[in-house]
Amino acid sequence: MYYIGIDLGGTNIAAGLVDESGKILYSDSLPTMKERRWSEIVKDMALLAERVVNESGHTLAEVKAVGIGCPGTIDKAHGVVVYSNNIVMHNVPVADEFRKYIDLPVFLENDANAAALGEYTTCGNGTDSFVFMTLGTGVGGGIILNGKVWSGFNGAGAEIGHQTLVFGGKPCTCGRRGCLEAYASVTALIEQTKDAMEKHPQSLMNQWAEEHQRVTGRTSFECAKNGDAAAIAVRDRYIEYVAEGICSIINVLQPEILAIGGGISREGDTLLEPINAYFAENDYNKHMKKTHIRIAKLFGDAGIVGAAKAAEAGLS
Amino acid sequence: MYYIGIDLGGTNIAAGLVDESGKILYSDSLPTMKERRWSEIVKDMALLAERVVNESGHTLAEVKAVGIGCPGTIDKAHGVVVYSNNIVMHNVPVADEFRKYIDLPVFLENDANAAALGEYTTCGNGTDSFVFMTLGTGVGGGIILNGKVWSGFNGAGAEIGHQTLVFGGKPCTCGRRGCLEAYASVTALIEQTKDAMEKHPQSLMNQWAEEHQRVTGRTSFECAKNGDAAAIAVRDRYIEYVAEGICSIINVLQPEILAIGGGISREGDTLLEPINAYFAENDYNKHMKKTHIRIAKLFGDAGIVGAAKAAEAGLS
């Protein structure tokens, strides 16, 4: 039997047919066009789900359930998006609406939690505790404890980007100041890069930005590889912010595995090695086994696999 | 049936006979004299436990198990203190040693986790998630999820005092910089008070300190009640540090209840009201039920009750 996993993003809706091992048999996507009425978006999710099943050579009769990873705060029991400000939704009964088109059990999960479940399936197997941290537009994540998503008594938890990093520091998107997200997101890295470019007009980063017609999260990492001092400083400081956030989360949760995802995680060992060194030096736990920090594996597919896993968990 | 709960502290060993509802029937204490050989300390714990049972009018035959809350990192499966730097212990088989004197099942728990279990019994009943935060010499705590202590895959977690508050800030006892503990412990509050006294020699705090022959965590709180501006500034800033740490922990865990303990918690609403106001303003969760923040109830007895509850959990 199979599960349909749907990842509802601000730009695209992605859906896949996933087997019980977490393997995607077939997947496809279409644009979200998030300004539309939500019922239109749900209709497209159902159409896409059906298309994915057909194209895979399977039938809906072989599908046990549907999982949908949605941005925002989710009422899992009722399949409702309570609130999302990315795709604007307020008390939207996504599961009920979806079932108008496909008569299968439908389970909703927060998109970051779903991605965490997906990565847990692939690179956290067999552990009792796993934290997934994404470095993207924001800093998000998901917490798996005893093999299950922990998102608080109210479903609003696992906001690991909204731990304090600098008391009274830079304004954060959440309205507070000094959150980890305001320093360790790719958005923040781009800002840090631009600041350094302005201070160091001779830096390679300015040349890179001109060639690429933009500044991205890769700018400092790429120029640092070429020995540019200003770029090295930006990159190393950014990695320190990330590592400090990781230390805080590990001191509180001590998960067996912590996996780093998001675009920046494609930097691989350039990111991971200094984080591990920082962690070895700053971890509170000096006497017990240590959390294993690694780069996540699924990248864009984590949401689809995790949504399918949320469907599986919902049935059990 | 009853349980014996023992709270092994740096100054005193406290023990009590506890019933299944978490009520202490009788308790007593004796000095730890922590410089002694650990086997002498364990012997005294057993003597005290026996005395407590006898004085309560019950017998050891009515006791199901013994729980011991110990400082440091605990190997619960083997009843061993892996490492403690408060009472210096390194791989000490406390449970086995204790059983030389009293032949009952013995379960060890980290002292902060035990206190959390104790408070959970008293003021967290019926919830699935509970965080206990102590403001004392350090900032400690315990995390209860799904009714059980969560201390990580390795038993070294729940170090909520060692989340970052100020990146690169004040040195912390753990070797890092800028941990919550370095700002929100009573030790830190005393330091903040002394700094303000030096800057404001006319402050009531100087008079208070002279009268009491010392500076304590109460100095600023007491003088603030009398309208002293410098004391109000110290108190309010300290409460902000605590509140900011609480916001971080809630953003990550969203427990149903968070209880504040330790000496400073005796300030009651003076502490709680501004924390609640700060939380209402800075909490990430704007759309779901909110964590209920309260003052813990057991004070010094939390360790005894919690150790007894750890014994009960150990048997189950």
Of B82, B157, B291, the CB nearest to A252: B157
Which residue from A176, A146, A145, A144 is spatially nearest to A161, judged by alpha carbons?
A: A176
- Full 3-state SS string of B46-73: HHHHHHHHHHCCCCHHHEEEEEEEECCE
Q: How far apart are CA B272 and CA B124, in angstroms?
A: 17
Contacts of residue A35, defined as CB under 8 A and 6 or more positions apart, other chains included, come to none
Q: Left, alpha or beta for B248 (phi > 0: left; psi -120 to 50: alpha)? A: alpha
> To probe the interface with A, which of B120, B153, B166, B246 has the most A CB atoms within 10 Å?
B153
pLDDT band at A316 (very low <50, low <70, confident <90, very high): confident
* Cβ pair A4, A67 in contact under 8 A: yes
* Cβ pair A305, A5 in contact under 8 A: yes
pLDDT of residue B21: 93
Query: N- to C-terminal Cα distance for chain A?
Result: 14
Q: Which residues pair with A69 in a beta bridge?
A: A7, A109
Q: How far apart are CA A155 and CA B253, in angstroms?
A: 10
H or E, element range at B260: strand B257-261
Over pLDDT 70: what percentage of chain B? 100
Which residue from B196, B151, B181 is spatially nearest to B313, judged by alpha carbons?
A: B151
pLDDT band at A273 (very low <50, low <70, confident <90, very high): very high
- Give the residue-averaged pLDDT of B75-89: 90
pLDDT of residue B221: 98
* Cβ pair A184, A161 in contact under 8 A: yes
Of A155, A241, A251, the CB nearest to B159: A251
Check A253 against B157: CB less than 8 A apart.
yes
More confident residue, A138 or A53: A53
- Give the residue-averaged pLDDT of B33-55: 96
pLDDT beyond 80 at B85 = no
Least confident among A13-17, A136-140, B66-70, B222-226: A136-140
For residue A255, the chain B residues in CB contact (below 8 A) are 152-153
Of A154, A158, A249, the CB nearest to B288: A154
User: Distance from A259 to chain B by nearest Cα, in Å?
Assistant: 15
CA distances to A223, A229, A300, B275, B300 from A212, in Å: 12, 20, 23, 48, 63
pLDDT of residue A24: 97
Q: How far is CA B260 from the centre of its chain?
A: 9
Q: How far apart are CA B1 and CA B237, in angstroms?
A: 47
pLDDT of residue B10: 87
Amino acid at B82: V
Model confidence pLDDT, tens digit, residues A195-214: 999 999 999 999 999 999 99
Over pLDDT 70: what percentage of chain A? 100
Give Rg (Cα) of chain B: 20
* Cβ pair B11, B1 in contact under 8 A: no
> To probe the interface with B, which of A154, A241, A257, A286 has the most B CB atoms within 10 Å?
A154
For residue A288, the chain B residues in CB contact (below 8 A) are 73, 82, 154-156
pLDDT of residue B124: 83
Burial per residue of B197-210, b for 16 or more beta-carbon CB atoms within 10 angstroms, e otherwise: beebeebbbbebbe
Amino acid at B4: I
Which residue from B255, B202, B254, B188 is spatially nearest to B230, judged by alpha carbons?
A: B202
- At residue B108, φ and ψ (nearest 5 deg) are -100, 150
Number of neighbours of residue B232 by Cβ within 10 angstroms: 16
User: Distance from A104 to chain B by nearest Cα, in Å?
Assistant: 28
* Cβ pair B16, B24 in contact under 8 A: yes
At residue B168, the 3 state secondary structure works out as coil
**Half-sphere exposure of residue A15, counting CA atoms within 13 Å on the CB side?**
25
Amino acid at B268: G
Q: How far apart are CA A195 and CA A294, in angstroms?
A: 30
Q: Which residues pair with B12 in a beta bridge?
A: B31
Over pLDDT 90: what percentage of chain B? 88
Which residue from A84, A74, A69, A77 is spatially nearest to A34, judged by alpha carbons?
A: A84
Q: How far apart are CA B118 and CA A69, in angstroms?
A: 38
H or E, element range at B248: helix B229-253
pLDDT band at A75 (very low <50, low <70, confident <90, very high): very high
Predicted ipTM beyond 0.90: yes
Which residue from B129, B117, B138, B126 is spatially nearest to B22, judged by alpha carbons?
A: B117
Q: Which residues pair with A5 in a beta bridge?
A: A16, A67
pLDDT band at A98 (very low <50, low <70, confident <90, very high): very high
Joined tokens for residue B162: 């060692």
**Half-sphere exposure of residue A16, counting CA atoms within 13 Å on the CB side?**
23
Length of chain A: 316
Q: How far apart are CA B240 and CA B259, in angstroms?
A: 17
pLDDT of residue B290: 95
Joined tokens for residue B173: 């006892």
- At residue A127, φ and ψ (nearest 5 deg) are -90, 160
Least confident among A119-133, A187-201, A205-219: A119-133
pTM recorded for the entire structure: 0.93
For residue A146, the chain B residues in CB contact (below 8 A) are 146
Check A156 against B284: CB less than 8 A apart.
yes
- Give the residue-averaged pLDDT of B201-214: 97
* Cβ pair A156, A112 in contact under 8 A: no
Q: Left, alpha or beta for B208 (phi > 0: left; psi -120 to 50: alpha)? A: alpha
pLDDT of residue A264: 94
Task: Give the number of beta-carbon pairs within 8 Å between A and B.
Answer: 153
Q: How far apart are CA B176 and CA A58, in angstroms?
A: 55
Burial of B268 (0-12, 13-18, 19+ CB in 10 A): exposed
pLDDT of residue A137: 87
More confident residue, B83 or A29: A29
For residue A183, the chain B residues in CB contact (below 8 A) are 167
With CA atoms as reference, the chain B residue closest to A158 would be B252
Model confidence pLDDT, tens digit, residues A242-259: 999 999 999 999 999 999
- Per the listing, tokens 């088989």 go with B93
At residue B252, the 3 state secondary structure works out as helix
For residue B288, the chain A residues in CB contact (below 8 A) are 73, 82, 154-156
- At residue B219, φ and ψ (nearest 5 deg) are -50, -55
Model confidence pLDDT, tens digit, residues B273-299: 999 999 999 988 888 899 999 999 998
pLDDT band at B301 (very low <50, low <70, confident <90, very high): very high
Q: Which residues pair with A166 in a beta bridge?
A: B166
- Give the residue-averaged pLDDT of B198-227: 98
pLDDT beyond 80 at A143 = yes
Q: How far apart are CA A32 and CA A41, in angstroms?
A: 7
- Give the residue-averaged pLDDT of B133-137: 92
CA distances to A302, B181, B204, B221 from B227, in Å: 56, 27, 9, 10
pLDDT beyond 80 at A236 = yes
CA distances to B177, B239, B240 from B204, in Å: 32, 20, 22
- Give the residue-averaged pLDDT of B105-119: 96
pLDDT of residue B174: 87
Spell out the alpha helix ranges (H) of chain A.
38-55, 94-99, 111-123, 181-184, 186-199, 204-212, 218-225, 229-253, 269-282, 302-315
At residue B135, the 3 state secondary structure works out as strand
